[in-house]
Amino acid sequence: MKRLLLVIATLLSLTVLLAACKKSDDTSSAATNPGSTPAQVEATPAPTELPPYEANVLTGEPKGADYPEGQRITAVMVNNIVAARPQRGLSKADILFEIKVEGGITRFMPVFTDYKTIGEIGPVRSGRDQFFRLILPWQALYIHEGQSVVMQQYGIDYDYGKLNNNDGANGYRDYGRVNWAGKSYNAGTLALEHTMYTNSDNIANYITSQNVDMNRTYNSTFFNFVDYRLGTTRDLSNSLDSAYSDKYGPVVSDGQYIEIVHSQSYKTRFIYDESTNQYKMQQNYSDGQWRDTVDEAADNKVLTFPNVIVLYTDIHTYPGHEKTDLQYVEYAWGGVGYYCYGGKCEKIYWQKGTPLEALRLYYLNEDGTCSDTPLEINTGKSYVAVTDVDFAENFVHSSLDGVDLSSATTVTYERSYVEDDAKAGETLGSSTDDLTAAATGSGEAETVTEAPAQETTANETPAQEEAPVEEAPAEEAPAEETPVENTEAPAEENNVG
């Protein structure tokens, strides 16, 4: 009831705030006055006509000679439970999504323009509908190993067929891989589900052998990117809404340091490097320390992004799926978010709507409501977090002054739950529309706000929340840097990661 009342209030607020969030097809042209120019004055030369706009669908950058024209984009589900780190192949992603799944952990979905350039990637993990709904409008090839019953139902409802690949695109096991803590499956110290990988060749073989239709023509880009033909970069300090403030502070403010709380134990942070104009990515570990997020397949290259996007919404367990803790992510309402670039963070609004509608980002109006002006994203790779609004007040964006980058924070743990892995042909017994209707407004929120209650600055300590009793660690983290494993999950491939 608590969540229901809060959600109703939030819905009423967001209905007003998001009413203006719509695509604008208005165009303008300069008026022509034939008599305004004296005959003796030479006419101003017409501006040079721009070449056709031919941008990479995921980055907004100009297409190169090897661009896979007419080919579907590809998304892969990658394990991000602490024991699965470091991953392989993430540095090749054009967009990297991170969203909470079961047990308070997060999972990655790297999205690639061309599957042929992925190389090796993994550990591959099971599919979840909160990721699938983001790429469904783009009809991407979606690769994972196993899937929840909700995800399986989405594949059925939307007739996704072989584009929904459930065997890791014919993946393979690397039994000898050693994780960050020195554990391996061969040594009997690492679970089997952290050993599945695939690569470009295997994906290509799957596409060929199964005659998967990879033809797709995109008439727009994933985000509304700055037009690369103009040779300009959008400076957030001079943004359309940079002069605006709301009750939470300036719409555009410091963003050299970014810290995102996904759950009571999983955190991601970004540190801006002015010399490269990139954000370096780090995550917290089971010993409470921050470590760089690296790509093991690229000589432990640290993941960096020029664009960091954080989107807040309601996330809670699907009704009837409490045992497996399947997480429902509310995309229909839209909400508040942040776009960070060049050491600045800009408050934004976002909207998606139905599963077949694409994600859209908007500027704010002067009164803090959602405008009808699409937000411009600078070209390049992007990290995107879809994050629980319950933790919006824990979001930090600040200057680097006073930030102790070496300090320990929250020890990572995972709740006990049973992995949901749908059997072939298993259905919900109802449509995903019915399930979504049941999930909307249910659950028990700690905090539901239409915007972050406050933004923590560098000199303030983020609010710490005690874990509820049912979220206690399955086992305590040992003194050594060893990730906490879920002891209640089956020993074979039934641990979410």
pLDDT digits (tens, 9 = 90+) for 355-392: 999 999 999 999 989 999 999 999 999 999 999 999 99
Q: What is the pLDDT of residue 8?
A: 41
Distance CA 44, CA 22 (A): 37
pLDDT, residue 317, reads 94
Interval 38-61 mean pLDDT: 76
pLDDT tens digits, 125-181 = 999 999 999 999 999 999 999 999 999 999 999 999 999 999 999 999 999 999 999
Asked whether the predicted pLDDT for residue 101 surpasses 90, the reply is yes
Read off the pLDDT of residues 239-282 as tens digits, 9 standing for 90 and up.
999 999 988 889 999 999 999 999 988 999 999 999 999 999 99
At residue 22, the pLDDT reads 57
Q: Which range is least confidently modeled, 48-52, 222-226, 241-245, 447-451? A: 447-451
314 compared with 453, residue with greater pLDDT: 314
| pLDDT value, residue 337 | 97
Token duo for residue 104: 């308070």
Please answer whether residues 399 and 49 qualify as being in contact, where contact means their C-beta atoms are separated by less than 8 angstroms.
no
pLDDT digits (tens, 9 = 90+) for 220-237: 999 999 999 999 999 999
Residue 429 has a pLDDT of: 80
Of 192-201, 416-425, 437-446, give the range with the top mean pLDDT. 192-201
Q: H or E element: which one contains 16? A: helix 2-18
Distance CA 321, CA 60 (A): 39
Query: pLDDT for 333-362, tens place per residue?
Result: 899 999 999 999 999 999 999 999 999 999
Kindly report which listed range (55-64, 89-98, 111-120, 412-421) carries the lowest average pLDDT score: 412-421
For position 185, what pLDDT does the model report?
98
pLDDT of 460 > 50? The answer is no
- Looking at residues 466-470, what average pLDDT do you find? 31
Both tokens assigned to 178: 């050693």
Q: How far is Cα of residue 31 from the mean position of the Cα atoms in its chain? A: 43
Say if residues 294 and 437 touch (Cβ distance below 8 Å): no
Tokens representing residue 23 in the block:
């695509």
Q: What is the pLDDT of residue 46?
A: 55
Decide: residue 70, CB within 10 A, 0-12 exposed, 13-18 middle, 19+ buried. Answer: exposed
pLDDT, position 442 = 52
Q: What is the pLDDT of residue 121?
A: 98
Residue 395: pLDDT over 50: yes
Q: Is the pLDDT of residue 469 over 80?
A: no
pLDDT of residue 11: 41
Three-class SS of 66-89: CCCCCECCEEECECCCHHHCCEEC
Q: Residues 57-86: what's their mean pLDDT? A: 97
Mean pLDDT throughout 73-77? 98
Residue 246 has a pLDDT of 85
**Res 126: pLDDT:** 97
C-alpha of 178 from chain center:
27
Q: When comparing pLDDT for 82 and 7, which is higher?
A: 82
Query: Of the ranges 61-75, 124-138, 234-248, 399-413, which one carries the lowest mean pLDDT score?
Result: 399-413
DSSP string, 381-417: -EEEEEEEGGGGGG-EEE-STT--TT---PPP-----
Query: So what's the pLDDT on residue 421?
Result: 80
User: What is the per-residue pLDDT across 280-310, written as a single tens digit (0 to 9) for each?
Assistant: 999 999 888 999 999 999 999 999 999 999 9
Res 493: pLDDT:
36
Q: Give dist(CA 372, CA 19) in Å, integer.
A: 9
**Residue 200 · residue 141 · CB < 8 Å:** no
Which residues contact residue 194 at a Cβ distance below 8 angstroms, ignoring those fewer than 6 apart? 79, 81, 83, 84, 123, 177, 179, 185, 497
| pTM score above 0.75 | yes
**Residue 44 pLDDT:** 52
pLDDT for res 299 = 97
Please state, in angstroms and rounded to a whole number, the distance separating the CA atoms of residues 4 and 70: 45
Q: What integer pLDDT is reported at residue 240 of this predicted model?
A: 92
Mean pLDDT across the chain = 83
How many Å apart are CA 248 and CA 317, to the nearest integer? 29
Q: What is the DSSP string of 117-134?
A: G--EEB-B--B-HHHHHH
To the nearest whole percent, how much of the chain has pLDDT over 70?
A: 77
